[in-house]
Amino acid sequence: MKKILIANRGEIAIRVMRTTKKMGIKTVAVYSEADRNSPHVKYADQAVCIGPAPSNESYLRGDKIIEVSKSLQVDAIHPGYGFLSENADFAELCEANDIIFIGPRSKAIKVMGSKLAAKETVKAYNIPMVPGTEEAITDIPEAKKIAKEIGFPILIKASAGGGGKGMRIVENEGEFESQMDRAISEAKNAFGDGSVFIEKYVASPRHIEIQVMADMHGNIIHLFERECSIQRRHQKVVEEAPSCVLTPELRAEMGQAAINVARSCDYIGAGTVEFLLDENLNFYFLEMNTRLQVEHPVSEWIAGVDLVELQIKVARGETLPIKQEDLKINGHALELRVYAEDPMNDFLPSVGNLEVYQLPKGENIRVDNGFEEGMDIPIYYDPMLSKLITYGESREEAIELMIKAIDNYHITGVETTLPFGRFVCEHEAFRSGNFDTHFVKKHYSPSLLEEQHKLEAEIAAKIALKRYLKEQKVVRLPM
Ligand code: MV4
pLDDT tens digits, 264-313 = 999 999 999 999 999 999 999 999 999 999 999 999 999 999 999 999 99
Q: How far is CA 293 from CA 18, 209, 288, 337, in A?
A: 16, 11, 11, 12
- Three-state SS at 283: strand
Probe target for ligand 1 pocket from 199, 207, 210, with the most ligand atoms within 8 Å of CB: 207
- Strand positions, DSSP E, 242-331: 269-277, 283-289
DSSP 8-state secondary structure symbol assigned to residue 433: T
Model confidence pLDDT, tens digit, residues 61-92: 999 999 999 999 999 999 999 999 999 999 99
Ligand 1 centroid – CA 156 distance (Å) = 11
Chain-centroid distance, C-alpha 42: 25
pLDDT value of position 479 = 52
Over the stretch 439-451, which tens digit does the pLDDT of each residue have? 999 999 999 998 8
Query: Which residue's C-alpha comes closest to atom 9 of ligand 1?
Result: 163
Is residue 236 over pLDDT 90? yes
3-class SS of residue 471: helix
Choosing from 171, 276, 285, 289 the residue with most ligand 1 atoms within 8 A of its CB, the one to mutate for a pocket test is 276
pLDDT at 415 over 80: yes
β-pairing, 206-214 with 220-232?
Answer: antiparallel
Question: How many Å is the Cα radius of gyration of the chain?
Answer: 24
Q: Is 330 a residue whose pLDDT tops 80?
A: yes
**Percent of residues, the chain, with pLDDT higher than 70:** 98
Tell me the average pLDDT across 150-163: 91
Percentage of the chain exceeding pLDDT 90: 90
pLDDT at 35 over 90: yes
Q: Are 357 and 375 in contact (CB under 8 A)?
A: yes
Which atom of ligand 1 is the closest one to the Cα of 228?
Answer: 22
The whole-number pLDDT of residue 460 equals 85
**What residues flank ligand 1, with Cβ below 6 Å?**
130, 155, 163-164, 199-202, 205, 207, 231, 234, 274, 276, 286-287, 437
0.85 cut: is pTM over it?
A: yes
Q: Is residue 476 annotated as a catalytic residue, yes or no? A: no
Query: How far does residue 214's CA lie from ligand 1's centre (Å)?
Result: 26
Q: Is 60 exceeded by the pLDDT of residue 478?
A: no
Candidate of 199, 234, 274 to mutate for ligand 1, largest count of ligand atoms within 8 Å of Cβ: 234
Give the residue-averaged pLDDT of 159-185: 89
Residue 358 CA to residue 371 CA, distance in Å, equals 10
Nearest CA to ligand 1 atom 3: 202
CA of 199 to the centre of ligand 1 (A): 11
User: 476: pLDDT confidence band, cut at 50, 70 and 90?
Assistant: low
pLDDT of the residue at 165: 78
Which residue's CA lies nearest to atom 6 of ligand 1? 164
**233 backbone φψ class: left, alpha, beta (φ>0; ψ -120 to 50):** left
Q: How confident is the model over 2-15, as a mean pLDDT? A: 98
The total number of residues written for the chain in this structure: 479
Q: What is the mean pLDDT of residues 352-374?
A: 98
Question: How many other C-beta atoms are found inside a 10 Å radius of the C-beta of residue 445?
Answer: 11
What separation in Å is there between the alpha carbon of 167 and the centre of ligand 1? 8
336-352: average pLDDT: 96
Q: How far is CA 310 from CA 76, 307, 320, 332, 473, in A?
A: 14, 5, 7, 21, 61
CA trace torsion 108, 110, 111, 113 (10° rounding): 120
CA dist., res. 207 & res. 188, Å (int) = 27
> How confident is the model at residue 423, as a pLDDT?
96
Residue 228, φ and ψ in degrees, nearest 5: -125, 35
Catalytic site residue from 291, 337, 395, 422: 291
Compute the distance from residue 429 Cα to the ligand 1 centre, in Å: 20
229 C-alpha to ligand 1 centroid (Å) = 10
At residue 475 the predicted structure's pLDDT band, cuts being 50, 70 and 90, is: low
Pairwise CA distance, residues 180 & 294, whole Å: 33
Average pLDDT, the chain: 95
